[in-house]
Every structure is written in C-alpha cells, then in structure tokens.
Amino acid sequence: MLRIYDAENIIDAQLALDELKAGGLDCCMKGQHLMGGVGEIPPSGVITLWISAPQHEQRARDIIREYEDGKRSEQPSRPCPKCGEIIEGNFGRCWNCNAFLD
C-alpha cells in the first residue's frame, strides 16, 4: 500500500477516491472514522487515500493532480457529449449518465 493523498475533509476524500477508482485503480480511504475527534486532533491530514499497487503511483498522482486542478478552476457549464444534459463546469463526469466530459 502506498499513501497517495491527504484529504482536507471527508467530502474531498470521497471525491478524490471516486476519481481514482474511475481511473481503474485499486484504492482505499483510511482515517474517515477519526473525524469524530476533530477539535482534539487537527482536521486536515487525518483522512488519507492509499493505492494497493505502488507501481501505479504516477498514474494515481496524475489523477489526483487533475482532480486538484478541477477544484480550483472555474469552467462554464457544458452539455454532456453522451446524453446532452447540461453539466456545471466544475464536474468531470455527467451526473445523469456517468460519461466523462473530456
């Protein structure tokens, strides 16, 4: 197992985990049950994502980089190429049909 990401919070962790899994990587989240201790322990760096195959580290880091870049950028809404549903610009997948928007 290789630690690949330190999440800001549980939502950030789940979104990043979903991206890694969508990229075909076997991964897991650790520390999510420690969020009840926030206030006693610092909230950031508690929840981490891990990949099971260290040889996929570069691919995982590329996926995380794209995820992080997507969080910071403001993009216009656009139609899904598969079903035509209008999707807000900060999403990389269609909520309706799960198609990638790139």
Q: Where are the domains of the chain?
A: 2-75
Please write the tens of the pLDDT for every residue from 5-30: 999 888 899 999 999 999 999 999 99
* Sequence-separated contacts (24+) of 90-96 with Cβ below 8 Å: 92/19, 92/66, 93/22
For residue 1, pLDDT over 70 is answered with yes
User: How does DSSP classify residue 64?
Assistant: H
Whether the Cβ atoms of residue 64 and residue 17 lie closer than 8 Å to each other: no
Q: In terms of DSSP bridges, do strands 27-30 and 78-79 run parallel, antiparallel, or are they unpaired?
A: unpaired
Q: Which fold has domain 2-75?
A: Alpha-Beta Plaits (3.30.70)
Mean pLDDT calculated for residue range 34-61: 82
| pTM, full prediction | 0.65
| Per-residue pLDDT, 43 | 61
Residues in CB range of 50: below 8 A, 6 or more apart:
1, 2, 3, 4, 27, 28, 29, 30
- Among 28-32, 56-60, 86-90, 95-99, name the most confident range: 56-60
Please write the tens of the pLDDT for every residue from 70-85: 776 667 889 999 999 9
Q: Which two tokens stand for residue 28?
A: 């897991």
